[in-house]
Structure 1
């Protein structure tokens, strides 16, 4: 069995062994596909990890940069208490419409605030509104803006805030110092930001599975 086939098979085994059947989340992914959204959502195992991180943190306020169809948003919203709230930012109006329908489908609309527009503008607005601090911040949007998103995350955080930045390994291409791929450069910029900010204590984890070879960085604000 090839590596990729094995990774996917193990992911399927994880889900079959540890998760209850979830027709709602299955329908969310089906709706995303039917509406032409790119299949770049987190995997079920990664989504469950996000939900567990929210619960471990005892989070009541979450910020997500990059909604897509709302799959990861729903996972995190499910980890919130009844009075918790997640603010999620999406650039594309079509993606936002699909996401709102998915939030209704999953029964989490009362916990989700979706803001449509360029994320940097939305982040500035949240800061101006004193909307922070957030307990968990998940960054999964256009990779070249990683350092800008992380900078805003610091403004919207508190000591103890957990920040997760997705897609930072890029099939190992993060090692390429001389590459011209903007997504790889964005991944490297995330490492430079987290490693260079003394207020952050972080690490990164390489992952394999249904989404291929990638990984995420995770840090806590001191």
Structure 2
């Protein structure tokens, strides 16, 4: 067998689209996403939402923090994988996004004790949360603060907990060594910090705009 036959063929755009849409999101998540798009926000796509549900269920998450409320798309995706006794803490500086999330959660039948929405600057709120108390932390807020968010996630996660960094490929700029835009540099620094942290065991997935997952050992 030739070396060319041993090299797998990289997926083309059609395959990426097929994979991204392979697992349909629930009607409630789809409705939240439509609301976000109508408000000209940028919610996560189907593949990312499905992976968040998968991850929260896979690790049996009961306590989850998301940084960036995403109008309820990410929060609802996470809660749909969580036990109904679990609690999502969602932090965002923009009250309109949190209001949209509350509507999405309530329409999906989530009880008020399953989530808490905290309006405020994440870097002001996160230090007030308890060390080692969370199963999963989703980083999906201001990209220019990703390095600080990752540092907070390390503190907040229990051993065996998972940090998920959304937008880890920075709109296809991370792989371009000549790109020195502020967001690209910050996300590179955040990814490097995870790689260099002995307690984290990471994997980078080309899902949506890129997802970095890391287990805290």
Q: What TM-score range do you get, normalising by the shorter chain?
A: 0.7 to 0.9
Deviation at 1:11, TM superposition (A): 3.3
Structure 2 residue 156 is the aligned partner of structure 1 residue 174: no
Aligned to 1:8: 17
Give the match for residue 81 of structure 1. 83
Structure 1 residues 171, 28: CA separation in 2 closer, same or farther (over 3 Å shift)?
Answer: closer
Residue correspondences, number: 205
Q: Which has the higher contact order (CA 8 A, sep 6+)?
A: 1
Distance in 2 (CA, whole Å) between partners of 1:58 and 1:5 is 33
TM-score (norm 2): 0.85
TM-score under structure 1 length normalisation: 0.84
Name the structure 1 match of 2:104: 102
Query: What does residue range 144-159 of structure 1 map to in structure 2 within 5 Å?
Result: 144-159=144-159
Greater share of helix residues, 1 or 2? Answer: 1
Which residue does the alignment assign to 2:60? 58
Task: Summarize the alignment of residues 177-196 of structure 1 with structure 2, pairs less than 5 Å apart.
Answer: 177-196=177-196
Deviation string for 1:162-215 (max 9, x for gaps)?
1111111124311344533122112201211111111111121123xxx5xx31
Distance in 1 between residues matched to 2:14 and 2:200, nearest whole Å: 36
Deviates more, 1:181-190 or 1:167-176: 167-176
Q: Mark the runs of 5 or more structure 1 residues left unpaired by the alignment.
A: none
Deviation of the 1:132 alpha carbon = 4.7
Q: Which runs of 4+ in 1 moved over 6 A?
A: none
Give distance in 1, aligned partners of 2:28 and 2:16: 24
Structure 2 residue runs of 5 or longer lacking an equivalent are 1-11
Q: Work out the CA distance in 1 between the residues paired with 2:40 and 2:119.
A: 16
Deviation at 1:124, TM superposition (A): 1.5
